[in-house]
Structure 1
Amino acid sequence: MEAVAQNPTDFEDEKMSSINHAELQSHLSFLLRASYRQQYSIYTELDFEFASGKTRPDLSILPKRKADWLADEIVVQDVPLTTIEILSPEQSLNSLTERIYKKHFPAGVKSVWLVIPTVQTVSILLPDRRQMNFAAGVVKDPVTGIELNLSDIFEG
């Protein structure tokens, strides 16, 4: 696939990062790869172009793919099974959930984790608008079967 220059406004609704955001993104990436790398490919900050719009989730979980170091993709067309979004300090919860329901689910994403750092919670959103909220214990995704301890995600 040929590399295409990106227009900075393509992802204008995306958030700015912070130290806590980066810490959580690192924790989640490490935890997911440690337990699920044989089953899934886990990516951070990957740009997707769906029919429903362009988006850059904090983490994306796709069926296992073999890395091809000779051919790269700048903007990915494949649809992740699950995306993970971490609420940033300058981002509103409404704008983030709106993006999830307008871009992720219409594209075929099966579940979205919404991580809220300030209250140390994870909500798993599903396309039918059901959601599971986790404030303690084990976060379990009904789509992928992925399970992570909330205390590991928010490890200090």
Structure 2
Amino acid sequence: MEAIIEPVTDYEDEKISSINHAELQSHLSFLLRAAYRQEYSIYTELDFDFAAGKTRPDLCIMPKRKVDWLADEIIMQDVPITTIEILSPEQSLNSLTDRIYKKHFPAGVKTVWLVVPTVQTVSILLPERRQINFSQGVGTDPVTNI
């Protein structure tokens, strides 16, 4: 008898988490929920199946949704307004930005926050390859005003 082995999907193979990654993801989720829970739904590690492929952003900002505990979704079809990607220690910046421009934006994501913990920077990426970079002070997402 032969075993059929399905290939592992490649959408998150290279993402290896760390304590700093987890800490930052937790803090961002808490702060966003505390400040914007009336306007938006904030989720961590949701799987999306976009036309260009599967992806799992660290966080995403969706239009406000009511929780239905009796009907769960495993793979999301809706498109988030914003996704937030935190560069993991073993992850390539090029592979992450490639995924953003090939999967997130073609699906209709309006902005992507790219967080690079080691150099303490955030870039808000826009579909037309424009970006807002900051490492101090306040940066504002032009779509959500967060």
TM over 0.5: yes
Amino acid at match of 2:75: V
Deviation digits for residues 14-37 of structure 1, max 9, x if unmatched?
A: 511100000010010001000000
TM-score by length of 1: 0.87
In the TM superposition, residue 8 of structure 1 has moved relative to its aligned partner by: 4.3
Deviates more, 1:29-38 or 1:13-22: 13-22
TM-score by length of 2: 0.93
Which consecutive unaligned segments of at least 5 residues does structure 1 have? Answer: 1-6, 147-156
Amino acid at match of 1:112: V
Once residues 134 and 31 of structure 1 are traced to their aligned partners in structure 2, the CA distance between those partners, rounded to angstroms, is 18
1:132 alignment partner in structure 2: 132
1:154 alignment partner in structure 2: none
2:66 alignment partner in structure 1: 66
Once residues 62 and 13 of structure 1 are traced to their aligned partners in structure 2, the CA distance between those partners, rounded to angstroms, is 25
Once residues 53 and 11 of structure 2 are traced to their aligned partners in structure 1, the CA distance between those partners, rounded to angstroms, is 9
Once residues 10 and 95 of structure 1 are traced to their aligned partners in structure 2, the CA distance between those partners, rounded to angstroms, is 11
Q: Which has the larger radius of gyration?
A: 2
Amino acid at match of 1:71: A
1:110 alignment partner in structure 2: 110
Once residues 33 and 8 of structure 1 are traced to their aligned partners in structure 2, the CA distance between those partners, rounded to angstroms, is 33
Q: Any residues of structure 2 matched to 1:80-99 within 5 Å, and which?
A: 80-99=80-99
Amino acid at match of 1:114: L
Q: Any residues of structure 2 matched to 1:4-153 within 5 Å, and which?
A: 8-9=8-9, 11-146=11-146
Q: 2:139 aligns to what SS in structure 1?
A: strand
Closer/same/farther in 2, CA of residues 113 and 13 from structure 1, 3 Å limit: same
* Percent identical residues: 83
Closer/same/farther in 2, CA of residues 14 and 45 from structure 1, 3 Å limit: farther
